Structure 1
Amino acid sequence: MADPRKPILRPDDREQDRIRKIAYQHLLKATDAGAQELGCTGATFVVLCMGLWIMELAEVDQKATASMLAALATLHDPAASKTKKVRAERKRRAAVDKLFGSLDLEMAPAEGRA
């Protein structure tokens, strides 16, 4: 459960677009550098990295990671109906909230006396 003292920020659509653009630019640079160093294509590097990032997220919360990935798969499935995609977006958001909550608890300094 997320710490109620640390609300999850929900930027508006314009700010989300700005944030995604910055993240995308950094990912492109990292992909280019990594693919060059390994001597592979950018797509190969991305697939390799996806597996590594999934393992990192699973260390935080395996179930939330699996839920987020399942929802993303549905969102990008051309055969999925609009209703399924709407439901998948709700599940994706809930899984991300759970991951953020787990990260908040993991990163928070210990308080009190045991």
Structure 2
Amino acid sequence: MSEKKVSRLRRARRSRVKISDLRVHRLCVSRTNLHIYAQIIAPSGSEVLANASTLDVTLRTGATSNVEAAAKVGALIAERAKAAGIEQVAFDRSGFKYHGRIKALADAAREGGLKF
């Protein structure tokens, strides 16, 4: 495993420990070079309550690996979370830096009504 990935996973582990102490739903974000994924996970960590990604049929038009696509995923996950009755979440960026696509997704989710 590369040193960069090890550092990212270390940051992710540290933030997930803090989030687990809060006992709130978490908005977990993951990204690859081609896609971005978001999930709302229950406080127990055993159940996914809502999810959205650039693989969704509604978001497959156009580019899937840019800031605009990430903002669409953020808006969609906020809409699905509201439908599931979730308004308060903790943002789990999975060790990725809060910049670019991760930031765009978080900002769009906040605009969609999620509080974190």
Normalising by structure 2, we get a TM-score of 0.29
* Higher relative strand content: 2
Greater radius of gyration (CA)? 1
Higher relative contact order (CA 8 A, sep 6+): 1
